Each structure stands twice: as structure tokens, then as C-alpha cells.
A and B are shown apart, each in its own frame.
Chain A
Amino acid sequence: MKVVAFRESLVMSLRSIASNKIRSFLTALGVMIGVAAVIALVALGNGAQISVEENLESLGSNLLIVYSGEPRGGSLVRRNTTNIKPTLTEEDLEMIRSLGPNYVQAATSESTATAQVKYSNVNTVATVVGTGVDYPQIRNFHPVYGRFFSQVELDTRKPVAVIGIQVYRDLFPEGLDPVGLQMRINGINHRIVGIMEEKGSATSDESVFIPSSTYQRYISGENEYSVINVQAESTEAMRDLQRIIENEILRLHRLPNMDTADFYIANQLDLLDSMQGVTETFTILLASIAAISLLVGGIGIMNIMLVSVTERTREIGVRMALGATAADILRQFITEAVIISLLGGLVGIGIGIGSSWAASNLGGMAARVSLDSVFMAFGFAFVIGLFFGGYPAYRASRLDPIEALRYE
């Protein structure tokens, strides 16, 4: 009996929806847009989160970065160190390496400067990075062609260079094999030994990597490093390691505490946490915008359903006279609202998935549709139909049949 009654109201609703197609479409449109917005915006949020995580992972794993300069609270994003006076010494680096394999897998210095690089008569500006042989391992950034420079070349201050992919493209537009060729960095000849893989970030791809010894000799003329990259033995060891390195460098630099320090340490975990925090906020923000549009869609349904109930007052009166109970009328109008809302929801899911696909495949944005958001949006559509259709349906069911029959 209940199932039969439900099927009857389903048939009635579909008929009513079909008989007024444009109105039904406009009513569903609000929910459609709302649901599409929920799915697409949540997909964008998720995409942003995932791409941030991937970016951070591509920095290398279990990475601690010791920076020169005054500590800046909360600033964890890898920053441009080119204009900061280097304060980290070979002694600091040796100290970190001496902490042993229980804490440190590898450590390497890194100093950067902007320099003019030249091959034949082609010029470009690149970031010159002076570093050690462990750099590819620590930063998870490897040569794609040729090789990285060797320990011997580092020890003997050989003028050799590994070039970023963008530098290669700029200097060798004809696609020459550069290995063995001489390029000039600030006028000094360096032999190219390899090309680094593409990383997708300007700072990596537009860099030239040379031994730190060579860098000190030809580029900076100083013995200090801008940065020391440390690869911790494990994620668990990172926090401990950070504290130990802080204390040791303070001691070596003869400083009382971190408030007066000339260095600071960024930790990949903190970086990950704070970026996740940012992208989560971003996702919540987008989802709220979408939720508001769903709400507006719901109000649209209520509006049209109220009009529809008023318009069909006489029909309701006739149905009541013929034996429809208040429950029958309530069910009929609620079913209608829910179906309109669900139809809008279904189309909205299609649009949402479609536009997420378009955003990531055509628009170059990171967007990932989560199944959760699809179910959530569909659930919302149902609840909105129920809630915003409920009041008009209730009004319809409470009509006095005598008044309703008299309604013109």
C-alpha cells in the first residue's frame, strides 16, 4: 500500500514536471548550478591540496633546510636567499654531517647568486647554485642527461657545471649535445657535464649547478653558505634533529638563543602542515560558496512550489473532494519537489564533473573530483527538495477543500 502510494505520487509528479517543462527546468536550474558548483569547486580545492603535497614531496623527503638570516616566524616557504648575506660555515656543515647516520643521511651546502651565463654568443640570466655532490639525492632532483659533478671535481675546484633544463633550452636552441662544451658564467669558462631533469619550477629549471668550492672561488668570493640542506634519517628523527642542529649552530656561532640567531631552520613537516592548512581553508571556502548557491537553489524551489500550489489550488480541491487525504497531497507535492531537485542534482553532477575535467585537461588547473563530494551534493539535492518543498507541500495539504474548490 505504501509502495503503491509512493509509486502513484511518483507518476503524478513526473507527469506534472513533464507538463511544465520550462518551469521545471528553471526550478531545477538553481540546484543544478549549486550541485555543479559544489563538485567543481571541491574538485579544485582537492586538486590544489594534492598539487601542494606533490610539490612538497618533490622537494625531497625528510628535508630540513637551514637558512642564513634572522628567523622569521611562520615563514616556511622556501625563500629567495640571493640577497641575504650568507652566515653558514663549512664548520656548521661538518658538524651536521658528524651527527651520524642515526640522524643524518646526507647534508649539503647551497649558495645562490644571479649570474649571466653565455654559450657562444647566446646570453641568458640564470641562478647559479654552488652545492655539494649529495644535492641530487637530498633534493630528489637528478640529471636527466650526462651526470652531476663528482667529489673529485668538488675537492679540486673544477670549473664544471650541470645546467637546468630551461638554461639548456635558452643556450642551445638548436638542441646541441652540450656535454663537454664550455659555457661562461660571469665570464669564466665552465665545462658542462650534464642537464638536470625538468622540475616545473623556475627556480630549479633556470639554475646552473656548480661545485660549492668553485662557487666560492669564482662567484661569491666568500666562504659562507646561504643554505644547508639536511636529509634526516627518518621523519621521526626530524624534530629532534632540528633541535640539535639549532643548539649546535648557536654554540658554533657563539649566540645565546634563537632570538638573536643569524640562521633558522625550516622543516618539511611544518611546511606540509601549514600548506595543508592553507589548502584546507581554501577548500572549505570554495565549498561554502557552493553551499550558498545550493541554498539559493533551494529557495528557488520553494518559491516555484509555492506559486505552483497556489496555481493548482482548484486541482488540490478536486483531488480532496475525490478522496485525497492530506497525506496524499503532501506526498504528491514533496515528491515533485524532491524529483525536480534530484533531476537538477543529477544534471549538476554531470556539469560539475565535466567542468572539473575541462579545468584540469583544458584549463591546466589541478582539479580532482572526489566521490564524497558527488554523494554529498546528491544528498544535498535530496535534502533541499525535501526541506524547501516541504513547506509548500504542507500548505497544499492544509487547504480547505471547500475554499480550494471555490478558488478561481
Chain B
Amino acid sequence: MANIIEIDGLSRHYQMGPTTVKAIDEMSFSIAEGEFVSIIGPSGSGKSTLMNIIGCLDLPTQGKYSLAGTNVSDMNRNELAHVRNRYIGFVFQSFNLLGRETALENVELPLIYAGVSPKKRREQARRMLERVQLTDRGDHIPNQLSGGQRQRVAIARALATEPRIILADEPTGALDSKTGIDIMKLFHRLNEEGVTLVMVTHDTDLAKQAKRVIQIMDGRILQDIAAKEFTS
């Protein structure tokens, strides 16, 4: 299958006074459409930075990042916003739902910025809630939902614009283990439906549930292997 993500000689350096911190140091890998990849590493390994770059929230200082065949390495803020809207669905550890809006409205949010009409938005949002099996909770605000339900709403929101990849940052980190398992089941199902998933975590057990594991350390790739063969 075609590569959705191509990363080539990518570096992200921060200047901290006189010292240069190499959060990512000449990293290269690619992810094909339909893959389920976890990126694992301890805190400070550069995985957050990598996730920000993959998510088009940040830009590399060196190297090239192509998303769905488009080089995003030198886009401006506006172009990046459009790319995030069309190509990427974010799932955060702490859900990041807007507390005053209902589940449906939260799911509609990316569609507003995509310029979709209110009526179509509503239909699409309902479909997405259906996809995460939360049809009857559309009118609830996040406070009225359990953690697992909130994360489902967040996943529905990530799916709303039918992006090319879903980028999940510790998606089960704020959930109990049973609910975490449910969310992972949902991810597997979505993956089977053809959604490309990239999950960032520090949890080895969770990482192994993906199909492929990229382990990073000090801004470099330590190993990039099939999940079955992964040992830390």
C-alpha cells in the first residue's frame, strides 16, 4: 500500500541557551496506509515532539516530512491548520472535549473548520457517534459521560472529517484498565475498517497491541519491528 507518512532525515532541535537539545535526531521511517503503529519510548525520548510533528502542530528543523504525498515541512501556520483539519484526527490522553458543548457538537467541531454546512455536519456527527457506539449520548455534555464514553466522543471527533490518519496520544492513559481495553478494541475495529492509526505511548503492553512498534530513545529509533516480535 501507498505510504501515508514518509519521514526522511528528520530532526527537531531546540536551542536552550548555549546548548542545542536534539529532541529528534535524523530519524527516517515511513507508515503505509492502513497500518496500526505504536511509537513507544520513555518520557524525554522525543516521542511527544515526534507526535507534534506528525500531527502538523510543529515543524522539523531539518529533514523532510511528507503526509499523503505532500511535503509539509515548510508550510505556514495556515496551511498546517488546513492539513490538520483534513488529514489528521487527534485523540488525546485527557480527551480535550469542550466542556460546554454536547457530544454531538464536539464531534461537529472539526467540520465547522472544514466549512461543512450545519445540516451535513449534524448528520456526519451522528454517523461518527454511531461508529463509536455512542448514538444515544449525543445530547450529553462531557461531564455527564464516563471516561470511556468521553474518549469515544473524542475518537468520533477525530474521525469526523474522515482523515487519513488518527493520531492517539496515550489514549487509555486516563482510563481504568477495563475501559482501556474497550478503547483498544475500538481502535482495532477502526483499523480493520481501514483507518490508519498511530499511537504514542510509554506503556509496553499497550504498544504491543498495535501491529508495528517503533521504539525511540534520545531522539533516535531504537527498533522498528512487528509488534509480535517486540521486546523492550
Q: Inside 8 A of B117's CB, which chain A residues have their CB?
A: 4
Q: Is A299 an interface residue (CB 8 A)?
A: no
Minimum C-beta distance from B72 to chain A (A): 14
Minimum C-beta distance from B11 to chain A (A): 17
Q: In the complex, are the beta carbons of A314 and B100 less than 8 A apart?
A: no
Given the interface pairs A322-B157, A323-B113, A323-B114, the reply to whether A314 lies near B57 with Cβ below 8 Å is: no
Q: Inside 8 A of B109's CB, which chain A residues have their CB?
A: 318-319, 322
Mark each residue of chain B from 137 to 177: 1 if its CB lies under 8 Å from any CB of chain A, else 0: 00000000000000000000100010000000000000000
Given the interface pairs A8-B112, A401-B57, A402-B52, the reply to whether A325 lies near B96 with Cβ below 8 Å is: no
Q: Inside 8 A of A324's CB, which chain B residues have their CB?
A: 81, 113
Q: In the complex, are the beta carbons of A325 and B82 less than 8 A apart?
A: yes
Partner-binding segment picked from B85-93, B122-130, B207-215: B85-93
Q: Inside 8 A of A328's CB, which chain B residues have their CB?
A: 81, 113
Q: Is B8 an interface residue (CB 8 A)?
A: no
Task: Tell me the bound Cα distance from A8 to B113 in angstroms.
Answer: 9
Q: Inside 8 A of B55's CB, which chain A residues have their CB?
A: 321
Given the interface pairs A321-B90, A322-B157, A328-B113, the reply to whether A314 lies near B96 with Cβ below 8 Å is: yes
The 3 A-B residue pairs with the shortest CB-CB distance, nearest first, are A323-B85, A323-B113, A322-B110
Q: Inside 8 A of A15's CB, which chain B residues have their CB?
A: 100-101
Q: In the complex, are the beta carbons of B58 and A402 less than 8 A apart?
A: yes
Q: Which residues does A use to contact B, with CB under 8 Å? A: 1, 4-5, 8, 15-16, 19, 314-315, 317-328, 401-402, 405
Minimum C-beta distance from A322 to chain B (A): 4
Other-chain contact of A326, B57, B78, B114, B157 (Cβ < 8 Å): B78
Task: Tell me the bound Cα distance from A327 to B82 in angstroms.
Answer: 12
Q: Is B77 an interface residue (CB 8 A)?
A: yes
Q: In the complex, are the beta carbons of B100 and A323 less than 8 A apart?
A: no
Closest A residue to B89 by CB, please name it: A322
Task: Tell me the bound Cα distance from A229 to B175 in angstroms.
Answer: 97
Given the interface pairs A8-B112, A402-B52, A402-B58, the reply to whether A320 lies near B96 with Cβ below 8 Å is: no
Task: Tell me the bound Cα distance from A326 to B81 in angstroms.
Answer: 8
Other-chain contact of B81, A1, A315, A323 (Cβ < 8 Å): A323
Task: Tell me the bound Cα distance from A324 to B96 in angstroms.
Answer: 15
Q: Is B18 an interface residue (CB 8 A)?
A: no
**Considering only CB atoms and an 8 Å cut-off, how many residues of chain B contact the other chain?**
26
With contacts defined as CB atoms under 8 Å apart, how many contacts are there between chain A and chain B in the complex? 61
Q: Is B98 an interface residue (CB 8 A)?
A: yes
Q: Inside 8 A of B157's CB, which chain A residues have their CB?
A: 322
Q: In the complex, are the beta carbons of B92 and A405 less than 8 A apart?
A: yes
Given the interface pairs A320-B81, A324-B81, A405-B92, the reply to whether A1 lies near B100 with Cβ below 8 Å is: no
Closest B residue to A9 by CB, please name it: B112
Q: Inside 8 A of B57's CB, which chain A residues have their CB?
A: 320-321, 401-402, 405
Other-chain contact of A321, B82, B84, B114 (Cβ < 8 Å): B84
Task: Tell me the bound Cα distance from A402 to B56 in angstroms.
Answer: 10
Q: Is B115 an interface residue (CB 8 A)?
A: yes
Other-chain contact of B110, A1, A323, A327, A401 (Cβ < 8 Å): A323
Closest B residue to A20 by CB, please name it: B100
- Most A CB contacts (10 A, CB to CB) among B57, B58, B101, B161 go to B57
Task: Tell me the bound Cα distance from A78 to B81 in angstroms.
Answer: 75
Minimum C-beta distance from B129 to chain A (A): 16
Known: A320-B81, A323-B82, A323-B113. 13 other contacts (CB 8 A): A4-B117, A16-B100, A319-B109, A321-B55, A321-B84, A321-B96, A323-B85, A323-B110, A323-B161, A324-B81, A326-B78, A326-B81, A401-B57
Q: Inside 8 A of B101's CB, which chain A residues have their CB?
A: 15
